[in-house]
């Protein structure tokens, strides 16, 4: 089973928790949790095979957990397919996972789509509409 699949199983069961899975000498997060980690720690979001992920080394683990506790964000730590640490009833997950967190990612995707369309006969119409909005 892929790490992303494991993440999805836990995320479906605990949707308001950040899920951190130990992978070798790193902890990784997927899905919407990457935007939360990017926002709080400025960790770079990487896309691999269409899947967004964020990772950090074991050496940063206590710093991450401490900050999650300070911000009152629920979390689950998964190691060897088992929950090894958890913090419940903090309830600020939704506060830090808003859609605004992924604004840079959304802008970059629009930019890439526009680049693909640059030789399309309708590109000027599309750009005109965007410029009207701006």
* Number of domains, the chain: 2
Cβ atoms of 64 and 41 within 8 Å: the answer is yes
The torsion defined by the Cα of 115, 118, 123 and 124, in degrees rounded to 10, comes to 110
> Are residues 113 and 90 part of one domain?
no
> Are residues 134 and 76 part of one domain?
no
Please report, rounded to a whole number, the percentage of residues in the chain having pLDDT higher than 70: 93
Q: Is the pLDDT of residue 101 over 60?
A: no
CA distance to 29, 78, 131, per residue, from 84 (Å): 16, 6, 51
> Are residues 110 and 77 part of one domain?
no
pLDDT given at position 102: 61
Instruction: State which residues form the domain around 28.
Output: 3-97
> Are residues 88 and 26 part of one domain?
yes
107 C-beta neighbours (distance < 10 Å), count: 10
Q: How would residue 18 be classed by pLDDT, with cut points 50, 70 and 90?
A: very high
Give the chain as a 3 state SS string. CCHHHHHHHHHHHCCCCEEEEEECCEEEEECCHHHHHHHHHCCCCEEECCEEEEEEEHHHHHHHHHHHHHCCCCEEEEECCEEEEEECCCCCHHHHCCHHHHHHHHHHHHHHHHHHHHHCCCHHHHHHHHHHHC
Give the chain's mean pLDDT: 86
Of residues 16 and 94, the one with the higher pLDDT is: 16
**Pairing outcome for strands 18-23 and 75-79:** parallel
How much is the average pLDDT of 101-105? 63
> Are residues 126 and 89 part of one domain?
no
pLDDT given at position 38: 86
Q: Is the pLDDT of residue 125 over 60?
A: yes
> Are residues 105 and 85 part of one domain?
no
Q: What is the pTM of this model?
A: 0.69
Please report, rounded to a whole number, the percentage of residues in the chain having pLDDT higher than 90: 31
pLDDT tens per residue across span 39-84: 888 898 888 887 889 999 999 999 999 999 988 899 999 998 888 8
> Are residues 63 and 15 part of one domain?
yes
> Are residues 31 and 10 part of one domain?
yes
């Amino acid at each position: 089973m892929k790490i992303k699949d494991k993440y999805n199983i836990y995320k479906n069961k605990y949707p308001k928790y950040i899920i951190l899975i130990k992978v070798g000498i790193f902890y990784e997060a997927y899905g919407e949790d990457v935007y939360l980690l990017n926002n709080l720690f400025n960790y770079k979001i990487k896309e691999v095979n269409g899947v967004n992920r964020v990772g950090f080394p074991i050496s940063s683990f206590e710093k991450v957990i401490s900050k999650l506790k300070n911000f009152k964000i629920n979390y689950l730590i998964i190691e060897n397919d088992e929950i090894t640490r958890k913090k419940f009833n903090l309830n600020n997950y939704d506060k830090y996972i808003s859609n605004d967190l992924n604004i840079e990612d959304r802008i970059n995707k629009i930019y890439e789509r526009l680049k693909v369309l640059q030789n399309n006969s309708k590109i000027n119409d599309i750009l005109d509409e965007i410029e009207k909005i701006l």
